Structure 1
């Protein structure tokens, strides 16, 4: 079985994993190394998604193995964080393909759905027979979507009619359902609908020519007179505050993702430094190379500490996540750049992994609020003055 190692885990957070948790993570890593890693360069270059790995990952029972359950009948948040870390250690796109379903989609259903909806859909979410994605951002509204949400939901005799457009929606073309966020026509409520992706009036198209997260098919979605029955509305989401509430348990995910990607980049850089010889000896013995490797490890330590703390002590405010996102994205961006530098020209080749992490870090740096937007959120909280355009 593949041994688990976490360079940068200076405080021994991995030691807090239980025996069954470590065993499951080792099974996951072994599967990823044997089956997924060998195909990544060709799949990434071709821009092919990883939908075919969803069923095998579901079969590992990463989240529904009773041996992993805590007293609440769910795996511990710390373990769930390490699952994200293991997936991102290999590739961010794989983590989004899996986590967008069992984390984001499932969280929305649990936080916003009725007991009947949860009972009907949850098993299918975990085994990927009932797949879904989250559609919030729009062509003209990304970070400002809360104030500019243009998709509308109009009440009809039998349910609702949706009109609008969504953009950058991950997993949209491989999901059976789309959680569409829309503003109630003529009202102030912000509603969530679980829309069948093959419903009349729904059109999805893959966004092409991407330079990051190429293993995820982000999509443009148009909704033209899409009819949705009331039973497909998540009744406990009626505002952006409810959406924020739904995602509070996922706020540490971006930090775990950053830590995992840095681990993957570090592994690639270290392996290369041990093999590559210049001036008659491995470059791992040069001071300049060691300085870069040590800095990456220091960044991992900082990021992992933040990830664990926010997992074991969940954040309840809406400002701290912006600071966490900024820190995690900054550390990630520096680490993957250093890893690429260690490899010189070889670092530009997909065969050596670093360039995937380098490119995908730009997606992390941008989504869930750009660095600038998160800076303004934290700045407003610190000073009491808003620097947003008015």
Structure 2
């Protein structure tokens, strides 16, 4: 079995400031496996998808699920009970994906960053238990609906999408724009302004 230092020399010879030294052995092993699976599944087909244009869902999930990039037990050694791997690991995971292909990295940024973190930071315990494990396992795909056509991402005063409580339901009404992954996502956190109190709230759709 390779040591952490050997894996890091293989993966990041350009890391002159030794940022990767802060990774655990388990994190380094997951990153190494991620790169191996990228080369196996995504490298042979990525140019075809650029020409299509389309997204290689099957090949991406072969990488994400194969290496368990969000929920591998190796990522939580000494961090038991956490829903999210360390921020340093996540940074190097983004590096692995982006150095291969910017669109692959963007897809993960939306799913594992914007959607996942919104529920992690803003969801209650029931919502976290219901949604986060499925998102981390890539059984569900997530995206993020904040930006609007007339005001961008201005939640201070420009957010026009409304939310109204009617009985035991919430009615959302408005427009969103540039919601990457919205046509295939299973879970969409949608930001809207509550008509009752004027406050911006987030709704898992």
**Normalised by the size of structure 2, how large is the TM-score?**
0.85
Find out whether 1:92 has 2:98 as its counterpart.
Answer: no
Q: Calculate the TM-score normalised by the size of structure 1.
A: 0.47
**Residue 115 in 1 paired to residue 125 in 2?**
yes
Matched residue, 1:180: 190
Q: Tell me the C-alpha RMSD between the 2 structures.
A: 2.0
Give CA-to-partner distance per residue, 1:101-144, whole Å, 9 cap, x none: 22221111111111111112222111122322110001112153
Corresponding position: 1:12 with 2:22: no
1:43 maps onto 2:49 in alignment: yes
Report if aligned partners of 1:21, 1:68 keep a CA contact under 8 Å in 2: yes
Distance 1:55 1:32 in 2: 10
Aligned pair count? 194
- Tell me whether 1:25 sits opposite 2:31 in the alignment: yes
Report the Cα distance in structure 2 between the residues aligned to 1:39 and 1:108, rounded to whole angstroms. Answer: 32
Q: Is the 8 A contact 2:37 2:66 kept in 1?
A: no
Query: Is 2:160 aligned against 1:154?
Result: no
Report if aligned partners of 1:4, 1:26 keep a CA contact under 8 Å in 2.
yes
Does residue 1:66 correspond to 2:66, yes or no?
no
Counterpart-to-counterpart distance in 1, 2:112 and 2:50: 23
CA apart distance, 1:96: 2.2
1:166 aligns to what SS in structure 2? coil
Where do 4+ consecutive residues of structure 1 move more than 4 Å? none
Preserved CA contact (<8 Å) 1:54 1:97 = no
Q: Structure 2: 5+ residue runs without aligned partners?
A: none
Per residue, is there more helix in 1 or in 2? 1
> Quick check: 1:55–1:127 contact (8 Å CA) kept in 2?
no
Q: Indicate the structure whose relative CO is greater, using CA pairs within 8 Å and at least 6 residues apart.
A: 1
Task: Please say if residues 190 and 204 of structure 2, whose CA atoms lie closer than 8 Å, have aligned partners that are also in contact.
Answer: yes
Q: d(CA) in 1 for partners of 2:23 and 2:122?
A: 30
Aligned to 2:110, the other structure's residue is in SS state helix
SS state of the match for residue 174, structure 2? strand
2:114 maps to: 104
Q: Which has the larger radius of gyration?
A: 1
Given the superposition, is the C-alpha separation of residues 6 and 171 from structure 1 closer, same or farther in structure 2, using an over 3 Å criterion? Answer: farther
Structure 1: gaps of 5 or more residues: 196-390
Deviations 1:27-66 (A, max 9, x none): 1111112221222222112211132234321231122222
Question: Structure 1: how far apart are the matches of 2:59 and 2:200?
Answer: 34
Secondary structure of 1:169's aligned partner: coil
Take 1:161 and 1:104, find their aligned partners in 2: how far apart are those partners? 23
